[in-house]
Chains A and B, each alone.
Chain A
C-alpha cells in the first residue's frame, strides 16, 4: 500500500514542476493531501496487523502522520492566500508546490521507515526540499537562511549517518531494521552505542530545533513564508523527535538507558536556557515564535528524560504544540501582511485593524504559554509531576524559572501587538476575517483538549510507548 503512495507522490511531484496553471497546481496539492489522508487511515487500520517490508508505520508513526496531514492541509490553504496576496508568479508557485510535496513525502517516509538507513535517506530528502521552501522569496535574507540551513543541516544529517555507522559496528552483522536491532541490542558494545547516540542527538537536533544545532532552524522559520514556518514547527519537529526516538528505542534495551536520559535532560535544559536568553532579545515576531518552538523542544526532551512517567507527556506535548504553533505562525503571517513587517517596533494596534485576528493571537498566546485551559497546561503539569516523581526537584525549579522568561516575553510582545497603538506602524493591507478561521480552529483545538482528554491520541501514544521498557 505504501508503495502506491510513494509512486503516486512521485508522479504528482513531476507533474507539479511542469504545470503552468496556478489553479491546477494547487488542485494537485489537494489531491496529494487526499492521498496522504488515505495513507494515514490505511496505516491506522493496519496498526494491529503484522506487516512486512521496509515501509509501514507503528503507532507513533500513525500519530505523526495525522499531525502532518492536518497541518499540511491548513498550510496549503494559507500558502494559496500568501501567493495570491503577494502576486506570486506561476513558476514560483510550481517550484514551491513541487518542493512542498517532496517535503511532505519525505517527512511521511521518515514516519514509515522501519530501516535506519532508509529513515536517514528520507531525513536528508526533507533537508533538500526544505531548502527550496525556505528560498521561496528569493531575496538576500532568504538566500542566507537557505545556505545556512542547507549546509548546517547537511553536516548534521551526515553526523547522524556516522551515528548509524557506529550503531552498525556495535550491532555486528545484524540487519539495520529496527526490530532486528532491538533484538540484538543487549549484546551491543556500550562504548559504540554511546558514541552513536551522541552523534545522532547532535546531528538530528537540527531537525528538532534543539541544542546544539538550533540556530539554522530559527533562521529558517524566520525567513520562510509563514505556512512553511508552521510546517517546520510541527511536522519537522516530529521528524527530529522520531529520528532520536528510534535510536532511543533500540538503546533503551541496554544498560545505557539512564545515561541517555541524563543526556536528553542536559540537552533539554540547555535548549530551554538558550531559548530564554534569545527570546528576551529578539524584536521579530517570527523569531520569537521560533525560540518558543525551541523552548517546547527543550520541554519535550526534559519530559522524555524522566523515563516511563514522561514518555506519554513528551509525545502528547509535541502533538499539542504542533497545532498551537502552526495556528500562531498562520496568524503572524497575516500580521506580517497587514504591517508589511514582522519587526515589533513597526507593528501595533492590531485589535483595531483585525478583531478576529487579535482574538486568534490572544487565544494562541494562552495556548502557547500553557495557561489553562490550554492542552499544554495539562502536559506541563504532568511534566512537573513526572519530574517530582523521579525526584528531580531541582530541575522543576530550573524549568519553572526559565518558563517565566517565555511567559513574560510572549505576553509583553503580543499585548503590545494587539493593544498598543504604535505611530511607527504603517497599515499596508486589509485582511479578510475568514483568513483567521484556520488558525482559530487549530488553537481552539488546543484549548479544548485541555478540558477534554484526546483519548484517540492518548491511546496511540500508549501503544507507541509499549516498545520502550516499562
Chain B
C-alpha cells in the first residue's frame, strides 16, 4: 500500500514538471499533502495521541486544506486561473524530472544504510531536487513558491525516512514555522502582484 502511495507521489512530481496552469499546481500540491497524510497514518500507527494530532494537523489540515485554499483565494481567484510561462519546453522538464526520480532510486539503493527507509528516501530526494529544478527553470514567483512547497513535502518525507522522533515542542515549533512561512510568502506574492511584478526578471532594481 505504501509503495503505491509513494509511486503516486512520484507521479505528482512528473505532473508538476509539465503543468501549465496555476490551478493545476495548487491541486497537485494539495494531492501531495493528502498522500503524505495517508503515508504517515499507515506508517505511524503506534504513535501517541498528541504526535498523531500534530501530524494530522500538518498534513491533512494545513497541507491539504488551509494552504491550497489560501493560495486559491489570494492568487488564483483574484487574478483568474492564468497559464504559467514555461521557459523550458514541457518534454525537457519531463525528461529532467524522470531522470531525477531515476537517480533518486539509484542513490537510495546504493546507500545500503539500515537507518533509512529506502522508499521514503527515494521520494524525499526526488521531491527536493524536483522543487529546486522548478525554482531554477521558472521565472514567476508563483511557480517558485510551488517549488518551495515541493521541497517542504520532500523534507517531510525525509523525516519519515529517518524515523527519528523529535520532542513535541520542537515538532510544534517546526510546524508553526512552516505554516507561517508559506502564509507570509503568499502575502508577499499578493503585494508583488499589486506592483505587477510577478515575473522575477522585473525584480532586478537592487544591484550594484
Contact = CB atoms under 8 A, between A and B. Distances in A.
Given A150-B184, A173-B164, 20 more contacts: A117-B171, A117-B174, A121-B170, A128-B180, A128-B184, A135-B188, A143-B191, A143-B192, A147-B192, A150-B185, A154-B181, A158-B155, A165-B155, A165-B158, A165-B159, A165-B162, A169-B113, A172-B164, A176-B166, A189-B113
B195 interface: yes
Interface of B: 113, 115-116, 128, 135, 141, 144-145, 148, 151-152, 155, 158-159, 162, 164, 166-167, 169-171, 173-174, 176-178, 180-181, 184-185, 188-189, 191-192, 195, 197, 203, 205-206, 208
Interface stretch (A59-67, A278-286, A322-330, A361-369): A278-286
Contacts of A251: none
Which interface residue of A118, A145, A148, A154 has the most chain B CB atoms within 10 A?
A154
Contacts, number: 110
Given A143-B188, A144-B206, A158-B155, A125 B177 contact: yes
A360 interface: no
Contact of A168 (B128, B141, B164, B177): B164
Interface string A99-135: 0000000000000000101101110110110010001
A128 B115 contact: no
A115 B167 contact: yes
Interface in A250-304: 278, 281-284, 287
Contacts of A140: 195, 197, 205
A281 B115 CA distance: 50
Interface in A140-198: 140-141, 143-148, 150-151, 154-155, 158, 161-162, 165, 168-169, 171-174, 176, 189, 192
Contacts of A380: none
A120 B158 CA distance: 16
A151 B141 CA distance: 9
A392 B196 CA distance: 52
Given A115-B170, A124-B177, A143-B195, A155 B185 contact: no
A162 B205 contact: no
A121 B185 contact: no
A127 B185 CA distance: 11
Nearest to B180: A128
Contacts of A173: 164
Given A131-B184, A141-B205, A146-B188, A158 B177 contact: no
Given A150-B188, A189-B113, A168 B162 contact: yes
15 contacts: A54-B167, A54-B170, A115-B170, A117-B166, A122-B173, A124-B181, A125-B173, A144-B197, A150-B185, A150-B188, A151-B141, A151-B185, A155-B151, A158-B155, A168-B162
Contacts of B167: 54, 115, 117
B166 A127 contact: no
A222 interface: yes
Contact of A281 (B113, B158, B208): B208
B203 A148 contact: yes
A162 B208 CA distance: 32
Nearest to B184: A128
Contacts of B178: 124
Contacts of B192: 143, 147
Given A143-B188, A162-B155, A223-B206, A128 B170 contact: no
Given A176-B164, A189-B113, A154 B148 contact: yes
B185 A158 contact: no
B206 A158 contact: no
A144 B203 contact: yes
A219 interface: yes
Nearest to A115: B170
A118 B164 contact: no
B170 A117 contact: yes
A287 B208 CA distance: 8
A192 B141 CA distance: 33
Nearest to A280: B208
B168 to A, nearest CB: 11
A121 B184 contact: no
Nearest to A174: B164
Contacts of B155: 158, 161-162, 165
A127 B151 contact: no
Contacts of B205: 140-141, 144
Contacts of B185: 150-151, 154
Contact of A121 (B148, B159, B173): B173
Nearest to B175: A121
Contacts of B170: 54, 115, 117-118, 121, 176
B164 A131 contact: no
A176 B189 CA distance: 35
A284 B180 CA distance: 33
Contacts of A124: 177-178, 181
8 closest A-B pairs by CB: A121-B173, A117-B170, A124-B177, A168-B164, A282-B208, A117-B166, A219-B206, A168-B162
Nearest to B145: A151
